[in-house]
């Protein structure tokens, strides 16, 4: 059986994208890079293109097109610009699998396009499922596309489910490290700065997901992601804080048996598993040593302090376009926090306000998601600039 795969990495210059390239570099007999895309880190994108010699490169920021085009002139590499081009390139015959590693709503269009074209998806871009989980999973079913989770918790669940296809899940436990502010109260959190929030104890990731991890919004987004990936009801998804990030998540079956997947925190493992499933590829990733972790600990999530997690559960329960509102408001909130325009707790206030005010649609289609996303961003930006956010305590 020919298992060699031609890979397109959407978001190759990011944390997930560069680690996917590490996996490919170590396994050139199994994977070839067909497409690379980036947003504005042009020098890294050019460097990656020269090393991996893909068929096509797309730079999302159109103002950087000429720079990339000129730098790659001596090479036999096609260069395009803009997010529409990423969605177009997704349909290339020569692509077997797309690694969806763009951050945020910006990754939705290209992921949908790749699914429509029947490409297998290794999904890192959780926001895609948060915004339009029903649409994405329905389209995937219609087109015979498997969505392989890259997110470590969802990869863990997926690994626990191997060989269990006919056995119903009773519930799942998504583990969370708790982030840099675990154990802190709201009085402390109201004054924290981005430099503190960007220091994740266990994982090195892009800025947006690192802030989401500090505010527990990341876990909220992952609850919604899990619902769609594994077809679960809200009540079947629990979150447990596990500060060591060794157990990556747990499945509980109807006989009470629980399966957990564990290992040192290293995103290359779930990335590689998504790319090589159902096979496992021998790796030299660091191995876990029990003696270095004599205690693995667990505690409940503090949803009074970290309200984002409750907001995500509420949005999921309400359904319709609520998770799309939650996501758009959160993207604006994180961006504003990173630009020192709002405080840490105001991120949650903004999301809550948008969930209360934006028009609810119970059965949204693609156009509704596009409009909801647009409208929420405008309203959220207005709320920030008019300082209408109550200072949160």
Instruction: Summarize as ranges the residues that interact with ligand NAD (CB under 6 A).
Output: 11-17, 38-39, 41, 60, 83, 101-103, 106, 124-127, 151, 203, 205-206, 208-209, 267
The smaller minimum CB distance to Mg ion, of residues 225 and 349, is found at 225
The smaller minimum CB distance to ligand NAD, of residues 200 and 353, is found at 200
DSSP structural state of residue 299: B
- Our measurement of the distance from residue 18's CA atom to the centroid of its chain's CA atoms, rounded to an integer in Å, reads 15
CB of 222 to Mg ion, least distance (A): 5
Tell me how far apart the alpha carbons of residues 29 and 230 are, in angstroms, rounded to a whole number.
31
CB of 46 to Mg ion, least distance (A): 30
Tell me how far apart the alpha carbons of residues 302 and 118 are, in angstroms, rounded to a whole number.
41
CB of 153 to Mg ion, least distance (A): 5
Residue 237 has phi, psi (to 5 degrees) of -115, 120
User: Which partner from the list Mg ion, ligand NAD, none does 17 bind, CB cut-off 5 to 8 Å by kind?
Assistant: ligand NAD
Tell me how far apart the alpha carbons of residues 189 and 183 are, in angstroms, rounded to a whole number.
11
Stretch that binds Mg ion, among 64-72, 76-84, 146-154, 323-331 (CB under 5 A): 146-154
Stretch that binds Mg ion, among 91-99, 111-119, 148-156, 231-239 (CB under 5 A): 148-156
DSSP structural state of residue 287: P
Stretch that binds Mg ion, among 27-35, 147-155, 319-327, 343-351 (CB under 5 A): 147-155
Tell me how far apart the alpha carbons of residues 313 and 322 are, in angstroms, rounded to a whole number.
10
The smaller minimum CB distance to Mg ion, of residues 209 and 311, is found at 209
User: Which residue has its beta carbon closest to ligand NAD?
Assistant: 14
Closest listed residue to residue 123, CA positions, set 142, 141, 102, 138: 102
The smaller minimum CB distance to Mg ion, of residues 175 and 392, is found at 175
Residue 303 has phi, psi (to 5 degrees) of -80, -10
SS (H, E, C) 243-284: CCCCEEEEEEECCCCEEEEECCCCCHHHHHHHHHCCCCCCCC
User: Which partner from the list ligand NAD, Mg ion, none does 14 bind, CB cut-off 5 to 8 Å by kind?
Assistant: ligand NAD
Tell me how far apart the alpha carbons of residues 125 and 112 are, in angstroms, rounded to a whole number.
12
CB of 247 to Mg ion, least distance (A): 13
CB of 330 to ligand NAD, least distance (A): 11
The smaller minimum CB distance to Mg ion, of residues 87 and 274, is found at 274
Tell me how far apart the alpha carbons of residues 11 and 37 are, in angstroms, rounded to a whole number.
5
User: Which residue has its beta carbon closest to Mg ion?
Assistant: 151
User: Which partner from the list ligand NAD, Mg ion, none does 206 bind, CB cut-off 5 to 8 Å by kind?
Assistant: ligand NAD
Of 34, 109, 151, 225, which lies in the binding site for Mg ion, with binding defined by CB under 5 A?
A: 151
Longest alpha-carbon distance in the chain: 62
Using CB under 5 A, which residues numbered 230 to 249 contact Mg ion? Answer: none
- Is 248 within 8 Å of 152 (Cβ atoms)? yes
Q: String of b and e for 12-47 (b: at least 16 CB within 10 Å)?
A: bbbbbbebbbebbebbeebbbbbbbbbbebbebbbe
- Is 238 within 8 Å of 174 (Cβ atoms)? yes
User: Which partner from the list Mg ion, ligand NAD, none does 349 bind, CB cut-off 5 to 8 Å by kind?
Assistant: none
CB of 254 to ligand NAD, least distance (A): 29
User: Which partner from the list ligand NAD, Mg ion, none does 177 bind, CB cut-off 5 to 8 Å by kind?
Assistant: none
The smaller minimum CB distance to ligand NAD, of residues 17 and 178, is found at 17
CB of 107 to ligand NAD, least distance (A): 7
CB of 169 to ligand NAD, least distance (A): 21
Tell me how far apart the alpha carbons of residues 248 and 237 are, in angstroms, rounded to a whole number.
14
DSSP structural state of residue 359: P
Prior bond of 278 cis (ω within 30°):
yes
Residues at the interface with Mg ion (CB under 5 A): 151-153
């Amino acid at each position: 059986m020919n298992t060699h795969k031609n890979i397109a990495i959407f978001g190759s210059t990011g944390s997930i994208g560069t680690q996917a390239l590490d996996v490919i570099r170590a396994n050139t007999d199994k994977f070839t890079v067909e497409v690379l895309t980036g947003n504005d880190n042009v020098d890294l994108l050019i460097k990656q293109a020269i090393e991996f010699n893909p068929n096509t490169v797309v730079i999302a920021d159109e103002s950087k097109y000429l720079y990339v085009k000129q730098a790659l002139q001596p090479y036999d590499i096609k260069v395009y610009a803009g997010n529409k081009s990423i969605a177009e390139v997704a349909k290339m015959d020569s692509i077997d699998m797309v690694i969806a590693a763009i951050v945020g709503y910006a990754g939705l269009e290209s992921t949908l396009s790749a699914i429509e074209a029947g490409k297998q998806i290794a999904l890192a871009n959780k926001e895609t499922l948060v915004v339009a989980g029903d649409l994405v999973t329905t389209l995937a079913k219609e087109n015979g596309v498997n969505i392989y989770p890259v997110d470590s918790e969802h990869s863990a669940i997926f690994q626990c489910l191997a060989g269990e296809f006919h056995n119903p899940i009773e519930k799942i436990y998504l583990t969370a490290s708790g982030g840099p502010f675990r154990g802190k109260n709201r009085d402390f959190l109201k004054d924290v700065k981005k430099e503190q929030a960007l220091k994740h104890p266990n994982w090195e990731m892009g800025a947006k997901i690192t802030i989401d991890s500090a505010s527990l919004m990341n876990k909220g987004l992952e609850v919604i992601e899990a619902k769609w990936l594994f077809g679960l009801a809200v009540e079947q998804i629990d979150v447990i804080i596990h500060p060591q990030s060794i157990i990556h998540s747990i499945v509980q079956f109807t006989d009470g048996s629980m399966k957990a997947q564990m290992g040192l925190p290293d995103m290359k493992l779930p990335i590689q598993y998504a790319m090589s499933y159902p096979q496992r590829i021998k790796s030299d990733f660091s191995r876990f040593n029990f003696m270095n972790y004599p205690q693995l600990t667990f505690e409940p999530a503090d949803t009074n302090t970290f309200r984002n997690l409750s907001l995500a559960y509420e949005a999921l329960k309400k359904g319709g376009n609520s998770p799309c509102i939650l996501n758009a408001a959160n993207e604006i909130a994180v961006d504003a926090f990173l630009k020192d325009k709002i405080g840490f707790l105001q991120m949650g206030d903004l999301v809550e306000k948008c969930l209360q005010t934006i028009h609810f649609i119970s059965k949204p289609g693609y156009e509704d998601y596009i409009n909801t996303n647009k409208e929420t961003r405008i309203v959220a930006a207005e709320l920030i600039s008019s300082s209408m956010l109550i200072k949160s305590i």
